[in-house]
Amino acid sequence: MFDGVNTFSFFSKSPEQLFEKLFSQKYEFYQIYAHNLARFDNIFIFKYLGRFHKKYNFSIISRNGLIIMIKITSKKDHISLTIKDSFLLLPSSLAKLSKNFNTDIQKGMEAVLIEDITNTPGSDFYIMNDISHYSKEVLKLNNFIEWRDLIRKYCESDCISLYQILINFRKLIFDNFSILIDKYPTTPSLAFAVFRSKYLKDGTIPIINGEIDEFIRGSFTGGSTEMIIPYGENIYVYDVNSLYPFQMANQEFPIGKINRFIDLNEVPENNLWFGKAIVTSKTDMHIPYLQIHRNRTISPNGTFGMIITSAEYYNALKDYNIQILGGYHFKGGNLFYDYVTDIYKLRMNYPKSHPLNYIAKLLMNSLYGRFGMKDILVESKFADSKVVRETTVLTSIKLDEDLFFIETEKERDEADTNVGIASLITSYSRIHMQKIKQYCINNNIKIYYFDTDSIFTSDPLPDHFISNELGKLKLEYIFKEAVFLGPKIYGGITNEGDYICKIKGYKDSKKVSFLAMKSLLNEGASLNLNHIKWFRSLGLASIGLVNTKYKLTPTQNKRSLVFKNGIALDTNPFKVGVNTLGTDFNPIKIG
């Protein structure tokens, strides 16, 4: 722990000494940050804090099962502490952040005790027999006394470094935007505060919740990611420069009043809308592009139901017959041009070595996420067994005897969100990428793979696509040879001889050789891999490592593989029929 002046270390299995220090008038109104609190530190302190739930007042914010913030107050005892996760505000490793912010103390090498030649009583608890889960270099030691002293200094240095990062970050945000970071626990919330304070006029964005939110959220299917051709040589890999911010700056989004419509003719010509649709592809396209979510996200041929945005409707009419059954419409207006332009200029004014370059990039790319958030409909709190029995509980975790952490349903407030904005950002972005794909198709350029903002092609793309400007492509590298096994699963050797491998859900992807990846092109082939996963338990106040199996095989959950002589050579899109519409697709009920 570092409070700006003094460091404190408590070499203990319990956080008791730490909170004895913090539960004092000296630290009243302090903000306490831990880097990766939600997924690490909180596991060890949460159960202990729960013991005080009848003595102190607790306000706990959780989202998707993770604790974002804990506020502890007691007027009588002069206690007011807010514990936050700095990783949710600055989502990067402490090592990278200390370099970005040029702190006096940089991230050091972690010491790991692999055995203890001193036979110190209790040292067995700290010995790590297997260190294969580390992806970084560590200092291996066999002396508990030496290790204890080094790990204490290592943790103290981390605390000082994090403090310096946050103080610098706080000052830079205030100096440039007149906003204090103290009120905002996450990057999207901070980005939205910057946007709202300077760029957003009151009443401009319609607040969407309840049934309308649920309806429009049906159109929010994210980016498009597909593997098209499983193997190739001389493949050009392009990324779009800040795709989402580019669309935010240059497109229109919902403003003003929410209007319901049954017939598309009711919608004023220039309005934006979200409609329930029955869609039929005119021909069987090799790469269809309208995207639906049915347990998984797919872009099929055939007939299917979807919630479609007006932008994708007009873009798709050349390839699809689309019947609109009703929906909601809004006036459109440019909301983000000034925000994106100013933040991008700020970024360009500083080299990558300057923290403002990193901060500007963070703010520019994080605002989008704020609009896609769901309403927070749960209340999180500590409770005893009596409260649990008398309360309708959504989730309950037993922390100790007569101590539970529960989530209960909360009255729906008018959340300050609009999922239509997030949906349109992704919709405009899919259209942007579809136009690049269409150019490739029209010019006999093979497409091997594409992601939300990247495309892998057989030939170089023309100069008018390439630039350092927002929304333009940049050539990342050229694969001399590459294998694609599914969305976010591929590996290849670049012209420079570097091996790049991505395997979704598997941390040690680079340990899977290119030859092993290539062997999976054989029909029926698979690889049985082992990897170590973290097991976290709030109830046990522990984090463990579990050796788990990972079966790697080409995926066919978005397209079907085409084999010739037992080798995967191509893929085909799925074709669906009217039975995929569901009972809710009728011209009357739209919300």
Q: Report how far residue 271's alpha carbon sits from residue 265's, in angstroms, rounded to the nearest whole number.
A: 11
Highest mean pLDDT among 39-43, 216-220, 577-581, 585-589: 216-220
Quick check: 588 pLDDT over 70?
no
Beta-carbon neighbour count of residue 532 at 10 Å?
A: 15
pLDDT band at 578 (very low <50, low <70, confident <90, very high): low
Q: Average of pLDDT values for 264-270?
A: 94
pLDDT tens digit sequence for 393-431: 888 899 988 999 998 877 555 556 799 999 999 999 999
Integer Cα distance of 420 and 38 in angstroms: 29
> Letter for the amino acid at 213?
D
d(CA 94, CA 40): 14
Q: For residue 333, is pLDDT > 60? A: yes
Residue 584 has pLDDT above 50, yes or no: no
- Per-residue pLDDT band for 586 (boundaries 50, 70, 90) equals very low
pLDDT computed for residue 587 by the predictor:
39
The Cα–Cα gap between 563 and 227 comes to 15
% of the chain with per-residue pLDDT over 90 = 77
What does the alpha-carbon distance between residue 290 and residue 300 come to, in Å, rounded to a whole number? Answer: 8
Of the candidate ranges 218-227, 309-318, 370-379, 502-511, the one whose mean pLDDT is the lowest: 370-379
pLDDT band of residue 589 (cuts 50, 70, 90) is very low
pLDDT tier for residue 339 given thresholds of 50, 70 and 90: very high
Strand partners, 521: none
Instruction: Say which residues have a Cβ less than 8 Å from residue 415's Cβ, sequence separation at least 6.
Output: 207, 209, 373, 375, 376
> What ranges make up the beta strands (E) of 388-446?
393-400, 403-409
Query: How much is the pLDDT for 414?
Result: 53
pTM over 0.95: no
pLDDT in tens, 33-63: 999 998 888 999 999 999 999 999 999 988 8
Residue with tokens 């580390």: 134
Tally the residues of the chain. 591
Q: How far apart are CA 177 and CA 169, in angstroms?
A: 12
Q: Which residues of 9-19 are buried (b: 16+ CB within 10 A; e: fewer)?
A: eeeeeebeebb
Tokens, residue 524: 């029926």
- Position 591 scores a pLDDT of 38
Give whole-number Cα distances, 117 to 124, 139, 147, 148, in Å. Answer: 11, 16, 12, 14
| Bridge-based pairing state of the strands 403-409 and 111-113 | unpaired
Average pLDDT over residues 184-196: 94
Q: Is the pLDDT of residue 550 over 80?
A: yes
**Angle CA(271)–CA(272)–CA(273) in degrees, nearest 5?**
120
Q: What is the mean pLDDT of the chain?
A: 91
The DSSP symbol for 522 reads B
More confident: 519 or 545: 519
Question: How does pLDDT run across 430-462, given as a tens digit for each residue?
Answer: 999 999 999 999 999 999 999 999 999 999 999
Helix (H, G, I), strand (E, B) or coil at 47: helix
What structural domains does the chain harbor? 16-164+378-409 (3.30.420), 226-329+419-580 (3.90.1600.10)
Query: According to the model, what pLDDT value does residue 375 have?
Result: 63
**Confidence at residue 209, expressed as pLDDT on a 0 to 100 scale:** 83
pLDDT in tens, 229-239: 999 999 999 99
pLDDT above 90 (res 272) = yes
Comparing 261-265, 388-392, 402-406, 534-538, which segment has the lowest mean pLDDT?
Answer: 534-538
Q: Is the pLDDT at 120 greater than 80, yes or no?
A: yes
- Whether 463 shows a pLDDT value over 50: the answer reads yes
pLDDT value for 409: 75
